[in-house]
Structure 1
Amino acid sequence: VLYYTYNPSPKTDENWPFDQDAFFILNVAVGGSWFDIDPEFSESTMEVDYIRIYQ
């Protein structure tokens, strides 16, 4: 289901920001008060496939 399409004409820097660099901060914290971290855990790897943005 298509809800909305944004396609301004002409595309300018003021109305088309999608070709500009963007930076996202991902919270990769582990641990906390919910459970303890295994003492044998020393390192790991996380790969991000894609990021979906909701506004």
Structure 2
Amino acid sequence: MSEDAARFRKLADECRDQADRAKNPLDQEHWLKLAGDWIKMAQEAEARHR
């Protein structure tokens, strides 16, 4: 896995942690969307390194 992909996955994990702590459902939704965006970027980074 590339360093970029690993970093993006770590950021996605952090976003999911924030979503777990969010009290407002809208905040939780936004954190989960950000996590999804980071995962997409990680997948794209991995594809570039294949």
Structures share fold, TM-score greater than 0.5: no
Query: TM-score, with normalisation over the residues of structure 2?
Result: 0.25
Higher helix share: 2
Query: TM-score, with normalisation over the residues of structure 1?
Result: 0.24
- Structure scoring higher RCO (CA < 8 A, sep ≥ 6) equals 2
Greater radius of gyration (CA)? 1
